[in-house]
Structure 1
């Protein structure tokens, strides 16, 4: 899938702006675990640069700073973010989306993610938290766009089964490429399409340098 650097940069800068305004660059909105600023900005830029239209996030922590970043990317691409989680975690932070005109970019779905995910087909961009106990089941059932999709697995070092998404889908899809990046508590990227490990690493380094500067 073609890469659109201008869309990536706009989402990246918008995410930085929201982080500064709401002082959310260092923490999850739904918990106390720290999250690196460059991590959420990179993911936002990656989703926007790929012009992902249907995005999905599954996390046991409810709305997080990463949710905001994905909504920013959805606004840039004219897409939709599906946030799947528990109602109690999500309802507390929904007002933040309204304040930033992001409410039309996100749809909150409550229920068992393993069941809810089956409603969505040809997902362009997905973010799955390995702290979600049944993440391996999600790996096996999620329906990604076979020609142009990206799976981001965060908190990768928390996985207990030792299996990556790439290992689950390799052989079932064409052009599966994956790489683990040393940000957050481990982030594993799997690309179904033409993106190579070298290209993913190059994008990460470019945005990392931008943030540091």
Structure 2
């Protein structure tokens, strides 16, 4: 079974996020991630958040989870971040999602079958989150915010997230939305093409280089 795109569900989540966020929109990021999560019918949506971060993306993911009937989980590093997160989500008028407090190693033990994940390129711990993520067998979509200003090699992060198994990176792309979004689509496992390898192209918007990866 693979992720299947639903334009109708994506459109509904997009519109509902605009209505929910109103003036709090994060330069188009919130409604875009909401549309992607809902359009791919994500059943386990995971995001990372820490003190001082914006809340609009969380609102959008909460909207998406309502449309898909899935589970929305927010990972925070400490209790101070948890408290600020609950206050921010309450002020935004949305119901709080499930929150897990702690380091990526312990938090990921509770999360099996992630099919949509949003992390922050500016947070060093989030590269570890990507590597440790237990992705769904039907595939996954990974999103990294603040990609334009992080200077991080996000293409390497996507490769690290799918290394060591039958995972395959289908495609990755950079979108100039907000402070930059890096998006990667990971293939489903099983029922594949007999271990056939293929070339994946990734365009690095910061350096202007085309990166070719063989998986």
2:95 to 94, 102, 124: 102
Q: Which residue of 2 aligns with 1:91?
A: 83
Please report how far the alpha carbon of residue 99 of structure 1 lies from its aligned counterpart in structure 2 after TM superposition. Answer: 7.8
Cα 1:87/1:155, change in 2 over 3 Å: same
1:152-204, Cα deviation, whole Å (9 max, x unpaired) = 0111134455243322226741353111111122211111138xx9xxxxxxx
TM-score normalised to the size of structure 1? 0.75
Larger radius of gyration, structure 1 or 2?
2
C-alpha distance in structure 2 between counterparts of 1:90 and 1:63, whole Å: 13
* 1:143-162 mapped onto 2 (5 Å cutoff): 143-162=134-153
1:193 to 159, 164, 187: 187
Structure 2 residue 52 is matched with structure 1 residue 58: no
Please report how far the alpha carbon of residue 109 of structure 1 lies from its aligned counterpart in structure 2 after TM superposition. Answer: 1.2
Q: Which residue of 2 aligns with 1:32?
A: none
Q: Which residue of 1 aligns with 2:62?
A: 71
| Aligned length, in residue pairs | 181
C-alpha distance in structure 1 between counterparts of 2:57 and 2:105, whole Å: 21
Could you tell which deviates more after superposition, 69-78 or 149-158?
149-158
Structure 2 residue 39 is matched with structure 1 residue 49: yes
Q: Which residue of 1 aligns with 2:24?
A: 24
Q: Which of the pair is proportionally richer in strand?
A: 2
TM-score normalised to the size of structure 2? 0.74
1:134 to 116, 125, 129: 125
C-alpha distance in structure 2 between counterparts of 1:180 and 1:132, whole Å: 18
Structure 2 residue 11 is matched with structure 1 residue 9: yes
**5+ long unaligned stretches in structure 2:** 189-199, 201-215
**5+ long unaligned stretches in structure 1:** 26-34, 198-213
Q: Which of the pair is proportionally richer in helix?
A: 1
Aligned with 2:112: secondary structure? coil
Report if aligned partners of 2:59, 2:94 keep a CA contact under 8 Å in 1: no
Report if aligned partners of 1:124, 1:150 keep a CA contact under 8 Å in 2: yes
1:109-150, Cα deviation, whole Å (9 max, x unpaired) = 111234312321110100011122222222221111132211
Cα 1:161/1:66, change in 2 over 3 Å: closer
Report if aligned partners of 2:34, 2:63 keep a CA contact under 8 Å in 1: yes
